[in-house]
Amino acid sequence: MKAIAEKRKRALPRPVFDRRRRSFAYAVGGIVLFMGVLLFASGWRNRSVSEKDILYAYTFNADSAYRVRLHPNDIYEEEWLPEERMYSAALTDYIEVCLRSELRGQGSIDAELGGNYTLTAVLEGFYTKEDVRKQIYEKRFPLREGKMQREADGSAAAEETVNIFPAEYAAQLERIENTLGGSTERSCYLLFSGDCYIDTETERRQEQFSYALPLPLLLESGFYTMEKPETAPESGEISKSGSRMLGPSPARLLGGGLLFALGLGGLLFTRFFTRLPSEEDAWRLRMKRLLRRYGSRLVFLIEPEEESGKPCCRIQNMDSLLLIAEELRQPVLCSLDERGCPRNGRFSVYGQETCYVLLYAPPMSVPLSE
């Protein structure tokens, strides 16, 4: 039976872990085991999750459309010119502008939509210094005001159409500058602004809006264009926040179990399926480390060294042997055995009269190589 046990032991050799490697394996296994316990415990507990229930969502948008009315002339056959054209100041009678705002929404609760608006023409005088705009004056001309009307589909909308005579506002600017006694940089725009509301059983939400359409300041001659501002629908929501209790998390339970099993398996493997190095193992590990550190500065022989007959000088460490090799400009020779270790733990440098030898004597369990 003892022979069978020894045979099995040789057939399945256990990995060699020195004390440093075993300590590291125990530490890693313990950390993984502890993380598995924490993850499993966190997955077993009931947990509260915050939730937001959207009761009503809404969007608001403001936009405009315009066309230019021409004086009778023999150049254009049409009476009106559409958007995105180049217009003649001399042929412009007025500009018809249609402004529209719309509020729409949907949700699980009923809501009343509405709002108020004002339509104003604004004249500004300013100057610019170092890209900073400084206002000198502002003159407002109220044009319309009203309320948003409820549509059949439940939305609310407002629409106003006004005729703008740019020459009149240009004349107003001239009168203002004459009063001020100097000219300024100018701007003129149509301001469509107000507020809209969403009234529900849980909350009343109010939103402000503002839409500015630049207007041309016509001269006696010349051409002009109009550029509408880019707009994007504004959105919002009325919601109710709450929390919901969830049961154990299967993913965390599974992950914690796997980490626990992995950590426990690592600890058991290190304890029962590895062994501390014997004297032979320790010597071979030391030789392997020595070759990894100094291998690039050694010359490896295929056959063992032959006796040179020169007197030998024992050297204490590898650094001293390498220093001698540099002084003599001779290589450090080493021959490897069948397991990749220095044969008999011997490193040598041959001088003209002396052989310098560094010898790491193997333990008695390692047979000397011929």
pLDDT single digits (tens) 353-370: 889 988 888 776 455 454
DSSP string, 254-298: HHHHHHHHHHHHHHHHHHHS-B---HHHHHHHHHHHHHHHHGGGE
Q: How far is CA 232 from CA 83, 157, 220, in A?
A: 19, 16, 36
Strands 234-246, 332-335: pairing is: unpaired
Domain ranges of the chain: 12-46+247-272, 53-244, 279-359
Residues 185-212 as b or e (16 or more Cβ within 10 Å = b): ebbbbbbbbbebbbebeeeebebebebb
How is the chain split among helix, strand and coil, in percent rounded to 5?
Answer: 30, 45, 30
pLDDT (0 to 100) of residue 145:
92
pLDDT tens string 31-82: 888 888 888 887 777 767 777 788 889 999 999 999 999 999 999 989 999 9
pTM, full prediction: 0.54
CA distance 209 to 195: 6
Provide the residue type at 15 as one letter: P
* Residues 6 or more apart whose Cβ sits within 8 Å of residue 336: 300, 342, 343
Find where tokens 């936009």 sit.
63
